[in-house]
């Protein structure tokens, strides 16, 4: 990732945090208190029409390494 792209992503993340502060607090709580190998991570997406799509994973050691590296991109 080049410097320009990194700066653009940082700006977009800052805007996202301003628009969705409760979600960002939730992510921080999960990062510090709840995410470890063996955790079940579930995502539910509900469309404006009410259709729900759900998926989950059991977090592995490799997943944790990926999440930690993504967290270091800040």
pTM (two decimals) = 0.68
pLDDT value at residue 1: 67
Element (H, E) at 54: strand 52-58
Contacts of residue 48, Cβ cutoff 8 Å, sequence gap at least 6 = none
pLDDT value at residue 73: 65
pLDDT in tens, the chain (74 residues): 688 888 898 899 999 999 999 999 998 898 888 789 999 999 999 999 999 999 999 999 999 999 888 877 65
Structure tokens at 25: 């607090």
pLDDT value at residue 68: 84
Exposed/middle/buried for 64, CB within 10 Å: 0-12, 13-18, 19+?
A: middle
Segments making up each domain of the chain, as ranges: 1-34, 37-74
């Amino acid at each position: 990732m080049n410097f320009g792209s990194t700066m653009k992503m940082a700006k977009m993340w800052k805007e996202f945090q301003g628009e969705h502060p409760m979600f960002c607090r939730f992510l921080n709580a999960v990062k510090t208190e709840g995410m470890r190998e063996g955790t079940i991570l579930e995502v539910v997406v509900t469309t404006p029409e009410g259709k729900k799509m759900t998926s989950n994973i059991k977090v592995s050691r490799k997943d944790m390494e990926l999440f930690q590296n993504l967290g270091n991109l800040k």
